[in-house]
Structures are given as C-alpha cells and as structure tokens.
Structure 1
C-alpha cells in the first residue's frame, strides 16, 4: 500500500467520498461491503498499481490481476476486439468459448479436464 494516508486530502474530497458511499449503499445494497474503514476511491489502474482520486499510488497485491496487471495492452485489445464481435456466456453455443477452453486445458494436467467460466 501507499505510505500516504487513506483519508481524503481535504473537506471537499471527504464530502465527495461520503456521497459515493451513500450512493453505493443505495444502489448496490448492504450485500456489497466496501473494504476498509475509510474505503479507497480508485479511479484507474496500470500494471500492479492502483491510483486513487487524489493521485496516490497503491501496490495491488490482491485485486485479481496477479498474472497480467491492470489494463495490460494485449488484454485490453483482446477484450475490445471480442466485445466488438460478440459478448455472450456459456449457455449458448460458441466456438470462441470452446477454442479458449481447449487452449486453456492444454496448459494444465489431463486430470483437470474441464473448464468452468464464471
């Protein structure tokens, strides 16, 4: 984590973050809990770094990006290309999903013979 304080830098930032928390609670409900007593207002990510609304930098060692980092150019390009073609899930037939499953399963031991996409 950054050595900076997680607290907003000024009263305007604090009011803005309170408004975000209230909006979040109203729209997402109580099931979605924010991390930390003073949640971090993240606005962007790059590689292993996350940046808050005040421009502070945090090392992300948790947020599901350990393999490629945030906003990796190849991942962004692949997602953009696929989103421009088709965005679907596994309940329909799609060669793209099956092609990816074959490629993925080719990298793991044979006893792990199924892919589960969430």
Structure 2
C-alpha cells in the first residue's frame, strides 16, 4: 500500500488489538489461528477474505533425537486419526470452521 505507515508492536494481542479498537491503526497482520480466535470473541474486528500464508509451521528438536522424533510423529498421527485434533480445533474456532489438513 503506497504511503502506508507501518506501526510495530511487541505483540498483536493485546497491543495491536488495542490500537485497532482505538482506531489508531486501520489494519493489523497476525497469525491466522490467533486472528480467528480474536475475531470470534471481538465482534468489532473482521478478517479480510482470502488466505495470506508465508509457509509451513514446524517444530524443532535437537539433532539426533530419533526416538523423540518418532514419538512426536506417532503422537501427531494418532491425534489426527482419533478425531481429537478436529474436536480441539472446533472447540477454539467454532463448529463452522474447517481444520487444516495436516497430513500433506
């Protein structure tokens, strides 16, 4: 946006939210999961249509931790297959939301 002035905060919630509610900024940029939760609970906020993704989200662990890596992969696979991931996702983002496909 030509001529836009960027305003940085240490954290979007609560600092960015406060700036939006006070109309000291016109828009904010934040992680999708955080935004979905905030918009659900603060009715004066809305999300622009479309997805704006910068890439995958990952988990880090020390090199050589093969047992931990295997356990983590099995946990995630079981968490998804059991339906618990979808239940937890709907708990926080509403029954109308669609959980992302984590199996790709």
TM-score (norm: length of structure 1): 0.28
More strand by share: 1
> Max radius of gyration: which structure?
1
